[in-house]
Structure 1
Amino acid sequence: MKKRFYLGMVMLLALSMILAACGGDDNGGGDNGGDEGESNPDFIGLATGGTGGTYYPLGGTFANLINDETGINTDAITSNASAENMAMIDNGEAEVAFVQTDIASYAVEGTQMFDQPIETIRGLATLYPETIQIVTTADSGIESVEDLAGKTVSVGESGSGTRLNAEQILEVHGMSFDDMSVQNLSFDDSTTGIQDGSIDAAFITGGTPTGAVEGLAAQVDVVIVPVAEDKAQELINEYPFYSTDEVASGIYGLESAVPTVAVQAMLAVSSELSDDLVYDITKAIFENTDSITHPKGEFISADTALQGIGIDVHPGAQRYFDEQGVEAE
């Protein structure tokens, strides 16, 4: 009798262990042989930038596409853009975020404005050129970068990629923030300040046309200060993530194209998201580019989505691009 009792207890214990093992940890990631993460959240926060930039309107479109494809409620969140967005992914305030390629690299490396590496960031895709625009008016008399000396200039919000772009452009011109009265303003506040005369010029990094600058151009004659070819090349030699670019004629009422430089806008995602979810997010965006009404939509393509990405790509996004035959350059 005792033997049968003990045997029964052993068999019951063994069955309980087997059932526990089969139950596993169901966090929604599935068993796909090596997920980066296992998280399928109930809500996806998509960190963008200020309402006057390019990230915010594009983010609204992307949020709708992601919501439709995944069924997960997705919201575009305003922020101070690139650097803050990396912190938002790291502390769980956002799952997807816009960021400049240079800032994403700094975040992963733990350099510049980042005290230590952020290990939770992965690349999803690059999107379009982020043009550095030095904005002023015809009445300011500012025609060159050197003319900014002694002026009141907005260099972007504290911690933003724009601020670092401004610092690096001034550097190759033998200048620094000490040569001017610096303001740390959003794009909207920058253009408002130019219009009311409280500042003379502003650095704005964003896809052209940028909404805040379009609004300014409707009120005054906008001037974009050029970055000369030799200075652009010097900048590229020092910081290879830059490329030459221009603000095309017709934008902001410009009569001719203005040479400048650019970095790339990209989307980053949390490494905690499952491969399947990131695959669905990537697919939602790149198979619905015809839904992007912003002028920068013409640059957003799977064919170029890995160009200059600079950080490790999330396996879920990589799976999608592998299926499309897209390779990094």
Structure 2
Amino acid sequence: MLKRLLAGWLGLALMVVSSLACAEPAHYKIVTGPERGTYIQIGQDLSKWVAQPVGIDLEVMASKGSAENVQRMRFEPGVKLALVQSDVYQAYIDMANAGNADAGTAIRPLRLIMPLYDEEINVVVRADSPLKTFADIKDKSISVGLIGSGTAQSATTLYHLMFGQAIPEQNIQHLSNEDALAALIVKKVDVAIIVVGQPAKLFNDMNPELLQQIRLLKVDPAAPETARAKQTYFPATIRATSYPNWLKEDVPTLTVKAFLVTYDYGLRDTVGNLNHFADSLCANFDNLQEHGHPKWKQVKLELPTLVRGWKYYAPVEKHLRACLANKSAAISATAAQAAPKPRSTCSDQERLLLLCK
């Protein structure tokens, strides 16, 4: 039953795909993150497994990160999709609500397609550093990431939550992830904060000898600083299996959620193309999880209730919810078919007299 239901739904999706195969492709862009980060790989997966099957030529654009992506999503021609961290999105909303007109102009027309996965906060120090936990970074010199990156927003927000103050200006540096690690090794900074989904090429592509010169700080669950940080961020683990050439054990940390974002488009062609993208996302979700970046295995095809000020893109939401309903119905039908039949309540005498039905 499940196979028939899914085959019918997927058949309909394939009809849409085939009908678009001969059409002139739409040329769209998605803004992601640094070249060796996770965002750009997620964008490449979306381009290959979701956009291409429905005739969308989705160009994957590198960027500094989330804050830049919000601006480019809003103002750069051709950019129809973006990857944005939840704390960056919320920071724009908070500033808009506080009266910042530029923040309102940037964020209010943006809409969410769906939540993706958690990105781990990597707090990196030298291997010989005396620092042990996140709570030890107060008053240290810190690279927080490039201005315009999601890392910079996360790092500064995290510090403010933990210590009730901003990072002192003389202690802050805005370096790229690669430059931050280099500066760390040569002792130009004490700490490098890097927000990236595991496993990250940034670390796995590093020279093994250089990797042995750095290590990760742990989150202390009992520290008051951790309790304050959990107002915005969530506990997680950086697994040793993600970095077998570096980590000897799992490292407790904090995470921030990544979202796939678009604009509140109203033009018929754009709405239609994004609806096809949504159908393809649902139809090819298994391919993303099987063939895409390992982070796809953490993504759930669902649309949870949003916090105040956040909105889904209505046309895509309608298509995704229809897809989810179809899948749920198929699963329910299969479960009902597979449910064990109730045990007979017949007595032995009734069975002998052939009275049981």
| TM-score range normalised by the length of the shorter chain | 0.7 to 0.9
The answer to whether the Cα contact below 8 Å between 1:132 and 1:205 also exists between their aligned partners in 2 is yes
The answer to whether the Cα contact below 8 Å between 1:128 and 1:264 also exists between their aligned partners in 2 is yes
| Aligned equivalent of 2:103 | 116
Structure 1 residue 321, shift from structure 2 partner: 2.5
Structure 1 residue 196, shift from structure 2 partner: 4.5
Structure 1 residue 226, shift from structure 2 partner: 1.5
Unaligned 5+ runs, structure 1: 1-39
Report the identity percentage.
Answer: 22
Check if 1:275 corresponds to 2:274. no
Secondary structure of 1:177's partner? coil
Secondary structure of 1:250's partner? helix
Secondary structure of 1:302's partner? coil
Count of residue correspondences: 284
| Aligned equivalent of 2:235 | 244
Aligned-partner residue type, residue 63 of structure 2: S
| Structure 2: distance between partners of 1:244 and 1:211 | 22
| Aligned equivalent of 1:187 | 177
| Structure 2: distance between partners of 1:183 and 1:114 | 28
| Aligned equivalent of 2:292 | 293
Q: For 1:114-137, what per-residue CA distance to the aligned partner results, in whole angstroms no more than 9, with x for missing partners?
A: 843122210011110111110123
Secondary structure of 1:268's partner? strand
Q: For 1:17-56, what per-residue CA distance to the aligned partner results, in whole angstroms no more than 9, with x for missing partners?
A: xxxxxxxxxxxxxxxxxxxxxxx99421100011121101
| Aligned equivalent of 1:228 | 220
| Structure 1: distance between partners of 2:249 and 2:307 | 31
Structure 1 residue 217, shift from structure 2 partner: 6.8
Q: For 1:171-219, what per-residue CA distance to the aligned partner results, in whole angstroms no more than 9, with x for missing partners?
A: 2432642186321122222233334444332111121122212234733
Check if 1:255 corresponds to 2:248. yes
Runs of 4+ aligned structure 1 residues displaced above 4 Å come to 111-114, 307-310
The answer to whether the Cα contact below 8 Å between 2:160 and 2:167 also exists between their aligned partners in 1 is no
The 1:55–1:264 alpha-carbon spacing in structure 2 relative to 1, beyond 3 Å, is: same
Aligned-partner residue type, residue 205 of structure 2: G
The 1:80–1:263 alpha-carbon spacing in structure 2 relative to 1, beyond 3 Å, is: same
The 1:251–1:136 alpha-carbon spacing in structure 2 relative to 1, beyond 3 Å, is: farther
| Aligned equivalent of 2:88 | 103
The 1:180–1:246 alpha-carbon spacing in structure 2 relative to 1, beyond 3 Å, is: farther
Unaligned 5+ runs, structure 2: 1-23, 329-357
TM-score between the two structures when normalised by the length of structure 1: 0.76
The answer to whether the Cα contact below 8 Å between 1:52 and 1:212 also exists between their aligned partners in 2 is yes
Q: For 1:231-274, what per-residue CA distance to the aligned partner results, in whole angstroms no more than 9, with x for missing partners?
A: 3332223x3xx221121233333222222211111100121264
The answer to whether the Cα contact below 8 Å between 1:47 and 1:77 also exists between their aligned partners in 2 is yes
For 1:1-329, list aligned pairs within 5 A.
42-93=26-77, 94-109=79-94, 110=96, 115-117=102-104, 118-149=107-138, 151-174=140-163, 176-178=166-168, 181-216=171-206, 218=208, 219-221=210-212, 222-229=214-221, 230=223, 231-237=225-231, 239=232, 242-252=233-243, 253-272=246-265, 274-289=270-285, 290-291=287-288, 292-303=291-302, 305-306=303-304, 311-323=310-322, 324-325=324-325
Using the TM superposition, name which of 318-327 and 68-77 deviates more: 318-327
Structure 1 residue 91, shift from structure 2 partner: 0.6
Aligned-partner residue type, residue 283 of structure 1: D
Structure 1 or 2: more helix by fraction: 2
The answer to whether the Cα contact below 8 Å between 2:45 and 2:293 also exists between their aligned partners in 1 is no
Aligned-partner residue type, residue 197 of structure 2: G
Secondary structure of 1:157's partner? coil
